[in-house]
Structure 1
Amino acid sequence: MTLPKYQIQQLGTSDYEAYLTFLDVAYACRFFSSGKNGDFQLRVFITRPKDYTDVYYNLGFGVWNSEKHTVDDVVELKNGDFQQILATIASISLDFLEANPTASLYAEGSTPARTRLYQREITRHRHLIPENLQIYGLIRDKDVGFIELQPGINFDAFLLSLK
């Protein structure tokens, strides 16, 4: 069984020019959430600091504001397609890692509650996650750092990489 995903369209970096002085945009795409509250354009982008040569990237996503050319990662769509949105983002992440096998992706919710929601969904659908994908959770308290994802522990962020 797999979860349904949205069709994505890869984008260039022209919409992110304001950020290009301090960020490298390694990948950018969009897709549309379609549900009970309407259609919304979502953007996914994978970035790292400019001239940063390490293999760590940041995964960001949210609703695109075409007037301001910004991504809102706090808005709640409540469009009835949350799992399809997360499945699409997971697929994008896995595709990026497969194309960049030495890379690691850092992901964190815009709020602690959202991070817990993502963790709950990862745990719920663990059986669908490819065996070659490693997922670590970050514990900031007492500088524990990243440990392998485990149920029953609240994590502050996640790090994904291939085995």
Structure 2
Amino acid sequence: MNLDSYPCFANETHSVYEFVSQGQRGAVKKIVEYAWTGLENVYNLGFGDYDEVSNEINDLVVTNNGDCLKVLATVAWTVREFMFWYPDKLIFATGSTGARTRLYRIGIVSNLNEIKEYFVIFGKGESDFWEEFETGKYYSSFLLGRKENKDEIWKQIENLDL
């Protein structure tokens, strides 16, 4: 995506990315982490403010730094980067709150044409079944993989319990 994003730094395995949000509340360290779910090839996208005290990601805090779009664009950049290093993996994502899940849906819809150039994205909603993402539908969680792997992904997600 060609959206303005923050410079981002990855660890050796390209599973953790860090960047600094700059806004009305100052500099806030953000972390994006791709953690194995225990299911074959499926990684969970975790994202939030870095808590210096607990040394953990706080995915419930509302930063209100005035740079939401730039932060989401940076997270999207990490998705592309992670999938570059791990093209056969799937990324599972859901918001830590209903409002965040809604924000992610809006971000996906706003950039769906660009996303579909490289990836296939699925949503899981009230039906409790994965389906290819469609605008105008409610989804509580999302699954993303490389476009060229679409047939294999369909086979894998038939019985995927996330």
Q: Secondary structure at the match of 1:60?
A: strand
Q: 1:108 aligned to 2:94?
A: yes
Distance 1:131 1:103 in 2: 17
Q: What TM-score results when the alignment is normalised by the length of structure 1?
A: 0.83
Question: Equivalent residues in 2 for 1:1-163 (5 A)?
Answer: 2-11=2-11, 27-49=15-37, 52=38, 54-129=40-115, 131-139=117-125, 141-143=126-128, 145-163=129-147
Deviation at 1:134, TM superposition (A): 0.8
Distance 2:127 2:34 in 1: 29
Structure 2 unaligned regions, length at least 5: 148-162
State the 4+ residue runs in structure 1 displaced beyond 6 angstroms. Answer: none
Q: Secondary structure at the match of 2:45?
A: strand
Indicate conservation of the 8 Å contact 1:98/1:162, yes or no. no
Q: Secondary structure at the match of 1:121?
A: helix
Matched to 1:4, the amino acid is D
Change (3 A) 1:59 1:33: same
Indicate conservation of the 8 Å contact 2:14/2:85, yes or no. no
Q: Which moved more, 1:28-37 or 1:119-128?
A: 119-128
Distance 2:3 2:113 in 1: 12
Distance 1:8 1:102 in 2: 23
Distance 1:130 1:31 in 2: 26
Q: What TM-score results when the alignment is normalised by the length of structure 2?
A: 0.84
Distance 1:74 1:93 in 2: 21
Indicate conservation of the 8 Å contact 1:138/1:147, yes or no. yes
Indicate conservation of the 8 Å contact 1:8/1:31, yes or no. yes
Change (3 A) 1:133 1:64: same
The percentage of aligned residue pairs carrying the same residue is: 32
Distance 2:49 2:26 in 1: 13
Structure 1 unaligned regions, length at least 5: 13-24
